[in-house]
Structure 1
Amino acid sequence: MKLRPYQQQAVDSIWHEWETVNKTLLVLPTGTGKTICFAKVAEEAVRRGKRVLILAHREELLQQASDKIMSASGLTTAMEKAEYTCLGQWDRIIVGSVQTLCKDKRLSMFSKTYFDVIIIDEAHHAVSSSYQAILNYFDQAKVLGVTATPDRSDMKNLGRVFESLAFEYTLPKAIQEGFLSKIKVQTLPLTLDISSVKISTGDFAVGDIGRVLEPYLEEIANKLMEYRDRKIVVFLPLIATSQRFCEILNERGFKAAEVNGKSQDRTEITQAFAEGKYNVLCNSMLLTEGWDCPSVDCVIVLRPTRSRALYCQMIGRGTRLSPGKDHLLILDFLWHVERHELCRPAHLIAKSDDVAKRMTEILEEKGMDLEECERDAESDVLAQREEALAKELAAMRKKKAQLVDPLQFEFSIQAEDLTHYVPAFGWQMTSITDSQKKTLEQFGINGDSIEDAGKASMLIDRLQKRREEGLSTPKQIRFLENKGFKNVGTWSNNQASKMISRISASGWRIPKGVVPATYKPPVEDFSPQW
């Protein structure tokens, strides 16, 4: 099986990381082939004479892993689950149930060096005690965690388990490169009041959601009438709510079916839905992992959540490509919630919370393509930031500090990845070192306000890259922006130096004929001089 370019890059990056660390992480959005990637890693490990354990917490994920490994490499797998054991089997790849293997009695059947490589599917679960028991027992193994896009809190938790991020492929990039479906959002004019819902273990309590949602089900079904030509998956909080909503839809002429964890015939129902015998599939959080149906072109989330990872998993049921499918439609509602933020479509791709907030406002005003909405929102937020920055810079100028404040520099070069940086791994969270501070000072940056080594390292790398590319320095940017010039962060070092020389020659006043607010430096001529 030939890997896509980003998949090959992911596999290569994993092996590269394992040269220096034992535990690394792969982040790929749903539908981009994370199972194929770790199947190829497992295949290469076997080629190198190693024994591989693939861990998952659900039967569907174990079977999916086994099937993908067979299709990708032709290798068979052994099972470590309940009454099945891999001991005595010839297979070098084992798919194992976490619930079975985490027990002390089961672990004691293996030597601590029995597995050379451990792969954890849906790795956001790896922080749990059951996974940790297994990892702590096989503590010499190389570990790969694979997960879809997690939120920041998840990344912080995963940073306690994994030592590095080997590779990340984002949802916007997958859409832009044509590997996932475009996403459009339509906000329906119905306000769902969940302000009374309690928080339990960090998310909205499903029991409360079911109770609050029940009175809205009839009206929600009425709003869906014009979307009967869509192939829809609906996520609901409780089995009873899911079953009731399915009944209401069928009363209105939909061909709806319902599956839950207790359904004996769920395989038959999901297959019938895939074949078009049903056009709506209702479920109570059963289909968030381990189920694929590429022809799904509409997703409705009636189980509000604060977890970006969970929200991405739900929406991910509809992001795969399929013949005749132009885009995925997310039908969203006007959610009224107090005190606690909940995930909305904007959180699928927004790079920051303020962009997500503005995107949500735009989407509630009009339905549109998600990427187009992000561009509009980023433009609005940038304008707001520049206004706020102007006020902050006015106060900063009075200090006349010799070194440039890193915040000013980040905004000047519009480096959102620096501005919104959040450390994830252990070394990144440590305090900035004296050596890093000294290096930053050599670049003209005051490192006193930088709290962690990860941010300092990222900023130093950016400064070195700018120097190599011949771009303006922090001090040049500060001086010229203080004089009223715009976008100096995009100027070359030479362009900035020439303008500073002109200002110096004019007695440190703006040269005649130059309007700083609209000035653009002349394009430099790099043609050969004969």
Structure 2
Amino acid sequence: MRPYPHQQDMLERLRIEREIHDRHSNLLVAATGTGKTVMAALDYRNLTQHNGGWPPRLLFIAHRQEILKQSLRTYQEALGEAGFGELHVGGAVPSDWNHVFASVQSLGPSALDRLAPDHFDVIVIDEFHHAVSKTYRRIIDHFFPSELLGLTATPERMDGHSVQDEFFGGRIAAEMRLWEALENDLLSPFRYFGIADDTDLEAITWKRGAYDVAQLNSLFTGNRERAQLVLKAVHDKVADPLAMKALGFCVSVDHARFMANFFREAGFSAAALDGSTPSAERERVLTALRDGSVQIIFSVDLFNEGLDIPDVDTLLLLRPTSSATIFLQQLGRGLRRTPGKSSLTVLDFIGQHRKEFRFEEQFRALTNLTRNRLMKHVDLDFPKLPAGCEIILDRKSKDRILDNIKTQVGVKVTQLAREVGSYAEHKLAHYLEESQRDLPELYKSNNSRTRLLRRAHLLSETGPEGEDALLKRVSAFLHVDDPQRVAAYTRMIEDHAPSYDVLDPIGQAYARMLFFSLWPLGGGFASYAQGLATLRRHAAFRDELRQVLAYNLEHTEHYPIPLDGEHATLPMTVHASYSREEILPALGQAAVNGFKPGYFREGVKWCEGVRTDALLITLEKDEKDFSPQTRYKDYAISSHQFHWESQNQTSETSATGLRYQEHKERGSHVLLFVRRFKSTDIGGPQPWMLLGPAEYASHESSKPMGIVWNLRHPLPADVLTYAAYNVKAAGEERA
């Protein structure tokens, strides 16, 4: 059993949580139908391998017998052991109690009394959003496993609780990236319609990242003009409204009941469900939706109750949310593939929002685009979506969304200074969480936390000589998130950092990388020691950089893999990202009294000292992103193979071309570095991810050569998704 890319991605992030952050209670969030149980089984297989092949004692908990039987089969397939595991449900009682698949009902007080709190090493709980109930909580409180894994499509509940806050310290360890699942045809494609809604939300109170629910309820409930707009959109956009199976997401119980009544008046069979609906009535309505006798159910966060209705083909988003998590949960209720469903229709109603509301979160969740590139895609009607997917905005909605995103891009420095100043007593991470800003936003246009605090008069107005230039370079560290480099850089900016001259060779290599990250052209210093020694007088800068590095490490997304063999002494790890100011000194190609990284503009570099060709690959050239004449030269063929086109002058018989082909025989090496775009949203160059060592497989043509490289380490799932996109586009272009 091999994971799909999106599953591989989530398994990697689980590994990061455990091995890098030492967190052993984790929540995995993914839409129904994307293989949560498969991921749990593969994760358990990884834990077994880490345990020397000995399977840890396992308890898998679900609420239905058929789910438990299917889950047991999944684990057996993942482990390659047909006899693995025992059921504890429907009268079946385990005999050895080592690997148990149990229903919640079977684990009553008497069963728990027979089991020690540390009996199970690994506990997996399906549909973890039920964990707040007494039956689940009794089980969770009884056991103390080495690893707890919760699985859910819906971490936030209609009662206002979110299980990540209550059980996981506010964290979601691994969340499905929607575009990865869509690219791999695991979910139904969607047709998203953004429909202008003239309801004015600007006067609604905004607090902690959301509108006031009571005020929204007053605005929406009884608003027949808005309800008529929704009804018209259904008739306009849904092919056969009376045959649809639809869910409408409302802001309150009253709002849901009002919408159901309005649709019944219009001739639809409509119902409203909420937490007070008796279970028998709820099941009757859900059955009626499945068999077509009800066309639409309106509810408050219906998706949060773990209801599985695969046939849903229409969603009405009637409550505003800028939370990407909630938005994806809503979509997840309609993305299940079923026979006869060609696509999911999503009707979203775009009101007149406050400036604090952010459309970008949901559209970035749909498209995997950064903010600046998202604006281009909105303007060009989203030219690069997964097959079968469409985002269609009417003119007014498009203008509102573009204006809203531009507002976030163009946030004024005075506003940032006021925000940062209000959290001056807290760490950088706390400010980012509370303000809902991401780290690059803070460093756009040469801003920095220290400069903003000085602007807000919370630090003295001027710092030591040279501070301003250093603060402008903090943005050059926003990609540094692997533990070894974070630790090395942090050690070198401590109050009593060791001198360059007393560091070991690896430490000196990291010091050179740090030096050139701060001064790409050498800074006019005669030695590394001289330059790094000047940092001692810059306490504010060093404190800020420490916080940035700590924040990066907390949010790392790729597990670092050590280089081995002749590259083992290089200060780099596979699947970490590096700037040119780090790559060149790491490979011995820069010196304080010699060649400087700031002068380097090439995409290839032969590094004689380590007998290595470094290939620096940019997949999508920014200026050609939307050109039909774009030539796709570099792309992932698979997770283990990469196609790369050499420089134009390189022939198959040239010295360079022969070295590429014969590098193994000649004792030289090839390292591949890849980045998606040339520049970041805040204006600087995007760093390259080290894909690791590559070996020549084949080539075609000459001047330039089209070379296929075999990768020693498989591509990370998210990189494969956007790198393989090019090969699809290339095929379409050739056709």
Aligned to 2:261, which of 223, 227, 247?
Answer: 247
Aligned residues: CA RMSD: 5.8
Q: Which amino acid aligns with 1:118?
A: I
2:517 matched residue in structure 1: 445
Q: Which amino acid aligns with 2:274?
A: N
Q: Which amino acid aligns with 2:178?
A: L
Indicate conservation of the 8 Å contact 1:183/1:330, yes or no: yes
2:307 matched residue in structure 1: 291
- What are the within-5 Å matches in structure 2 for residues 36-115 of structure 1? 36-38=38-40, 48=55, 50-54=57-61, 65-66=67-68, 68-69=70-71, 72=74, 77-78=87-88, 92-96=100-104, 110-115=115-120
Q: Which amino acid aligns with 1:50?
A: R
Indicate conservation of the 8 Å contact 1:126/1:161, yes or no: no
Indicate conservation of the 8 Å contact 2:190/2:344, yes or no: yes
Cα distance in 1 for residues equivalent to 2:205 and 2:488:
37
Cα distance in 1 for residues equivalent to 2:588 and 2:265:
65
Cα distance in 2 for residues equivalent to 1:201 and 1:224:
32
Cα distance in 2 for residues equivalent to 1:164 and 1:205:
25
- What are the within-5 Å matches in structure 2 for residues 143-222 of structure 1? 143-147=148-152, 161=169, 165=173, 169-198=176-205, 203-214=210-221, 215=223, 216-222=226-232
2:723 matched residue in structure 1: none
1:236 matched residue in structure 2: 250
Indicate conservation of the 8 Å contact 2:188/2:336, yes or no: yes
Cα distance in 1 for residues equivalent to 2:166 and 2:493:
26
Q: Does 1:349 align with 2:464?
A: no
Q: Which runs of 5+ in 2 are unaligned?
A: 49-53, 77-84, 157-161, 393-397, 411-439, 448-464, 495-506, 519-540, 561-571, 608-645, 663-735
Q: Which amino acid aligns with 2:264?
A: N
Aligned to 2:294, which of 255, 264, 278?
Answer: 278
1:484 matched residue in structure 2: none
| SS of residue in 2 equivalent to 1:114 | coil
Q: Which amino acid aligns with 1:54?
A: I
1:502 matched residue in structure 2: none
- What are the within-5 Å matches in structure 2 for residues 303-452 of structure 1? 303-338=319-354, 340-341=356-357, 345-349=362-366, 354-355=371-372, 358=375, 362=379, 409=476, 418=478, 433-434=490-491, 440-443=510-513, 444-446=516-518, 448=542, 450=545, 451=547, 452=549
Q: Which amino acid aligns with 1:138?
A: F
Cα distance in 2 for residues equivalent to 1:36 and 1:468:
43
Q: Does 1:258 align with 2:272?
A: yes
Cα distance in 1 for residues equivalent to 2:586 and 2:291:
55
2:718 matched residue in structure 1: none
1:463 matched residue in structure 2: 578
Cα distance in 1 for residues equivalent to 2:209 and 2:245:
32
Q: Which amino acid aligns with 2:217?
A: G
Q: Which amino acid aligns with 1:492?
A: V
Tell me how far 1:238 sits from its aligned partner.
2.4
Q: Which amino acid aligns with 2:511?
A: E
Cα distance in 2 for residues equivalent to 1:177 and 1:67:
27
- What are the within-5 Å matches in structure 2 for residues 3-18 of structure 1? 4-6=3-5, 9=8
| SS of residue in 1 equivalent to 2:104 | strand
Q: Which amino acid aligns with 2:352?
A: H
**Higher deviation after alignment, 297-306 or 117-126:** 117-126
Indicate conservation of the 8 Å contact 1:17/1:24, yes or no: no
| SS of residue in 2 equivalent to 1:349 | helix
1:493 matched residue in structure 2: 605
Cα distance in 1 for residues equivalent to 2:356 and 2:493:
38
Indicate conservation of the 8 Å contact 2:253/2:300, yes or no: yes
Change (3 A) 1:427 1:193: farther
Tell me how far 1:346 sits from its aligned partner.
0.9
**Higher deviation after alignment, 440-449 or 211-220:** 440-449
Change (3 A) 1:196 1:168: closer
Structure 1 length-normalised TM? 0.65
Tell me how far 1:34 sits from its aligned partner.
0.9
Cα distance in 2 for residues equivalent to 1:66 and 1:347:
35
2:725 matched residue in structure 1: none
2:657 matched residue in structure 1: 527
Q: Which amino acid aligns with 1:528?
A: L
Cα distance in 1 for residues equivalent to 2:74 and 2:310:
19
The alignment-based identity, stated in percent, is: 19
2:709 matched residue in structure 1: none
| SS of residue in 2 equivalent to 1:433 | helix
| SS of residue in 2 equivalent to 1:235 | strand
Tell me how far 1:316 sits from its aligned partner.
0.8
Which whole-Å deviations, capped at 9, do the CAs of 1:28-69 have from their partners, x for residues lacking one? 3443121343356679999936241537xxxxx667753642
Q: Which amino acid aligns with 1:178?
A: D
| SS of residue in 2 equivalent to 1:258 | strand
Tell me how far 1:172 sits from its aligned partner.
0.9
Cα distance in 2 for residues equivalent to 1:116 and 1:160:
18
Q: Which amino acid aligns with 2:228?
A: E
Which whole-Å deviations, capped at 9, do the CAs of 1:201-230 have from their partners, x for residues lacking one? 764444332221121223322332222524
| SS of residue in 2 equivalent to 1:92 | strand
Indicate conservation of the 8 Å contact 2:28/2:172, yes or no: no
| SS of residue in 1 equivalent to 2:304 | coil
Cα distance in 2 for residues equivalent to 1:26 and 1:72:
17
| SS of residue in 2 equivalent to 1:335 | strand
Tell me how far 1:14 sits from its aligned partner.
8.8
Tell me how far 1:433 sits from its aligned partner.
2.6
Aligned to 2:143, which of 132, 138, 143?
Answer: 138
| SS of residue in 2 equivalent to 1:528 | helix
Tell me how far 1:317 sits from its aligned partner.
0.8
Q: Which runs of 5+ in 1 are unaligned?
A: 56-60, 411-417, 481-487, 496-519
Q: Which amino acid aligns with 2:348?
A: D
Cα distance in 2 for residues equivalent to 1:106 and 1:203:
43
Change (3 A) 1:155 1:391: farther
Indicate conservation of the 8 Å contact 2:26/2:168, yes or no: no
Cα distance in 2 for residues equivalent to 1:195 and 1:401:
38
Q: Which amino acid aligns with 2:180?
A: K
Which whole-Å deviations, capped at 9, do the CAs of 1:431-463 have from their partners, x for residues lacking one? 963169965432222394532346379696323
Cα distance in 2 for residues equivalent to 1:409 and 1:155:
36
Indicate conservation of the 8 Å contact 1:231/1:296, yes or no: yes
Q: Which amino acid aligns with 1:493?
A: K
Cα distance in 1 for residues equivalent to 2:648 and 2:474:
28
Q: Which amino acid aligns with 2:218?
A: R
Change (3 A) 1:360 1:18: closer
Tell me how far 1:73 sits from its aligned partner.
5.5
Indicate conservation of the 8 Å contact 2:128/2:155, yes or no: no
